Amino acid sequence: MNRTPKKLLILSLDKRVNKFLCNTIHNIIGQEVKVSGACVDAIADMPTCDLIMTSGDSMLPYVRKIFPEQEIFSPRRIITGYNLEKVLMLPKGARVLVVNHPRYATDETIESLKDLGITHLNYVPYWKSLDVRIDLSTIHAAISPGMTHLCPSGIAPVIDIGPRLISIQSFSELILALGLSQTYLENYANNYHFFLMASSRKLSETLAHAKLLQKRSEVILDEFEDGVVSVNQYDRVNLANKSALEILGQDENKFLHSRFHETIRNFKKVADLIEETHPEDKSAGIYNYHGKQLVLSKIPVVGTPTENHIYTFREIARIQRFEKSVRAKLAAKGYVTKYDFHDIWGQSAKLRDLIEKAERFARTERSILITGQSGTGKELFAHAIHHSSMRRDGPFVAVNFAGISENLIESELFGYADGAFTGARKGGKTGLFEQAHGGTIFLDEIGDASPSVQSRLLRVLQEREVMKVGGSKIVPVDVRVVAATNADLGQAIEQGRFRRDLYYRLNTLPLTIPSLRERSADVLYIFNRHLVQTYNIKKAISSNARAALEGFDWPGNIRELINTAEYAFIASQGSAVMRLAHLPENVVQHFNRSHPLSTGEAHGDFEPLLARLEAVRLDRYILYRILKILADRTGQVTGRNTLCRRLRSRGILVTEGRMKTYLKHLRANELIEVGATKQGTGLSAPGRALLEFLADALQLG
């Protein structure tokens, strides 16, 4: 039975504002909430919804009169900074038409502009159906937050500063009111910060050309909780927001125009988050600074004639406090699962079919037994099943039988009464089954349960009631059981280590997760997705490295693959391409056993060969170009004349006689294969490995 999605109705006075707010919220939470919108004066009948959201506080009295019994939410909306550099460039004292609708929205826009420190203009309010005549010849420009269609004709320029966004705090309150997961808040925060960062970048570019912007334009960046510092090509600070000054402990007057790297010379790097592989790339890392842990990001300002950068600072403690606060509020509403089916990575048909089956199972109340090798993602499936079940608003309690000693497992599962044993907590303890009441209990590694625990589990599943250790009171429980094991329970039953009747109780709906070896098509997808999600990078992978990853057995499955991705990321730092040598030794050895001709790349033993070739005056760059031409012309006739002509087109002059010498040595070292006259020259497997080695060594990608 599918859960009926909640309904959110957004009310405003203008159709375009309504459409913007509906689209913004739908793009974030539209999968779980039905978002609809309407103008207040167009509502004919009382709509059915869980929550009404207005476009502003001034609408609240009117909306409450129409919907006296309905829960109503009014968010705080802020100017994002879009196109504000154009507003700041307007001359001091200029009469500027501020266009919005209705009047209160126009007044709010003017106040927001003033709050941002843009006070050098003479604002003239304008809204739809204004009956006061304005001499438009005295108006220098018009400003509007996404309502430019209301501007009277004949005014230029018209500056659209973009519709006002919902603040992060208000969006947090909205998803809590709707009972949604914190993931949506994180997604919205990313979009929110994208808008603010884009605005701050435009401001920093304009700072290089206009002293007017330097006056107080940093007030725009004070919307950030993160610290933001703009640094020019001479390493001088030309802008810093309040958060940056607080985090760095700096006085504004002394910090501005100081040398930035003198300030951060005491930063101690802990780890790289995004490597700086090129001066024009963004980079980020974790640093210690005077007892604080900070995430420092460096963002080049693209498009400026000189080398300028924006640096952002984020206190990890602040991130953790905010996350803890949100988690506490959401957990109080029952959201304790960490994953859903979108978090299960893979594109293979076998995995897609399994997820589809698991989603059907999740909608039932039956017990589920998940089997699979270690590292295949059994717990991930258990979380996703609970998240998609009718019990998703109830608790999700996990217990691992392999992680709790046998003498404690019963008291953990069923609790104990006051005075049940020496050292027992006064007043007793509530067991995990009781804590899971109304939700799901996940019994991981169920194959490790002792015979006595198996007997008590069977009773709970049959009678739906528990008795505490040392107690006499029967406590009814309403739980859905999901169990998992990597053991062969059939064999355990035959050996008398597992109860057959308990097995049939648990195995109502069986799910078997295929090993990574059975779905090798997912290997590169998971490998690349982990790197993108964790480090925001996507590196090219050499053909040998791809073959090694896809051909490996992966006894540790997804867990081992993720560890391999971490290893490869660290080992390949500074290289544009991940190669076979960047993979763990066990993966390389497995590949070498099945591809004996490719050991050159694995062991890096091309340097002695290249030294011998250079001793007879063969240039390694020309060697690379010859091998590259042969690789690109696979299946085509390639002789000495063709090679000379191709090199000449790149400005490399090699005579036919000299080319003969190159080919002679390449053939002697089994790097190329020379056929009959009509066949020309081709590249061997060792030659391809050498080509990849040279591409990396010469940094030619």
Which tens digits make up the pLDDT trace of 362-401?
A: 999 999 999 999 999 999 999 999 999 998 888 888 888 8
Class of domain 606-697: mainly alpha
Instruction: Name which of 29-43, 138-152, 585-599, 651-665 the model is least confident about.
Output: 585-599
Contact 552, 590 (CB under 8 A): yes
Neighbouring residues of 462: CB distance < 8 A, sequence distance ≥ 6 = 505
What integer pLDDT is reported at residue 592 of this predicted model?
76
Q: Which CATH class is domain 185-320?
A: alpha beta
Comparing 213-217, 437-441, 487-491, 572-576, which segment has the lowest mean pLDDT?
A: 213-217
Q: What is the pLDDT of residues 266-282, one digit of tens each?
A: 888 888 877 766 666 78
pLDDT band per the 50, 70, 90 thresholds, residue 502: very high
Helices (H), 464-605: 489-494, 500-506, 523-535, 543-551, 557-571, 585-594, 599-603
Mean pLDDT of 242-266: 85
Average pLDDT of 660-667? 89
**Angle value at C-alpha 585, between 579 and 590, nearest 5 degrees:** 90
Contact of 464 with 367, CB cutoff 8 Å: no
Residue 604 region, left (φ>0) first, then alpha (ψ -120 to 50), else beta?
left
Residue 675 pLDDT > 50, yes or no?
A: yes
**E strand or H helix at 211:** helix 211-214
In the chain, count of helices (H) and strands (E)?
29, 29
**Which of the four pLDDT bands, split at 50, 70 and 90, describes residue 330?**
very low
pLDDT confidence band for 498 (50 / 70 / 90): very high
326 neighbors 172 (Cβ within 8 angstroms):
yes
pLDDT single digits (tens) 524-542: 999 999 999 888 888 888 7
Distant-in-sequence, close-in-space partners of 114: CB < 8 Å, separation ≥ 6? none
Topology of domain 516-594 in CATH is Helicase, Ruva Protein; domain 3 (1.10.8)
Q: pLDDT tens digits for 612-634?
A: 888 888 898 899 999 988 888 77
List beta partners, residue 609. none
- Domain range 341-512, CATH class: alpha beta
Q: Tell me which DSSP letter residue 167 carries.
A: P
Instruction: State residue 597's pLDDT score.
Output: 47
Q: Can you name the residues that pair with 77 across neighbouring β-strands?
A: 166
CA proximity to 482, closest of 526, 436, 519: 436
CA distances to 380, 408, 527, 575 from 534, in Å: 18, 37, 11, 18
d(CA 40, CA 250): 50
Structure tokens at 628: 């590259």
Do 606-697 and 341-512 fall under one CATH topology?
Answer: no
- Domain boundaries 6-74, corresponding CATH code: 3.40.50.20
**Sole residue written with tokens 């080398």:** 307
What is the reported pLDDT for 422? 56
Structure tokens at 629: 């031409």
The torsion angles phi and psi of 264, rounded to 5 degrees, stand at -100, 15
Q: What are phi and psi of 125, to 5 degrees?
A: -70, 145
Rounded CA gap, 241 and 221, in Å? 6
Domain spans of the chain, in order of start: 6-74, 84-166, 185-320, 341-512, 516-594, 606-697
pLDDT of residue 212: 44
Write out the DSSP string of 408-451: HHHHHHHEE-TTSSTTPPTT-EE-HHHHTTTSEEEEETGGG--H
pLDDT-derived band at 265, boundaries 50, 70, 90? confident
Residue 353 has a pLDDT of: 93
Q: What is the pLDDT of residues 176-210, one digit of tens each?
A: 888 887 778 877 777 776 666 666 666 555 554 44
pLDDT tens sequence across 67-93: 888 888 888 887 766 777 778 777 777
Cα angle at 247 between 245 and 252, to 5 degrees?
Answer: 10
Q: Report the half-sphere exposure of 537 (CA within 13 A, side-chain side).
A: 28
| Tokens linked to 143 | 């400003």
Check residue 526 and give its pLDDT: 92
Say what the pLDDT of residue 678 is.
56
Q: Which residues pair with 399 in a beta bridge?
A: 443
Q: Is 208 helix (H, G, I), strand (E, B) or coil?
A: coil
Contact 389, 440 (CB under 8 A): yes
Question: How far is residue 413's CA from residue 397's CA, in Å, rounded to a whole number?
Answer: 10
Average pLDDT on 116-126 reads: 86
Instruction: Give me the phi and psi of 78, to 5 degrees please.
Output: -130, 155
State percent of the chain over pLDDT 70. Answer: 85
Amino acid 401: pLDDT: 86
Give CA–CA dist 17/163, Å, rounded: 7
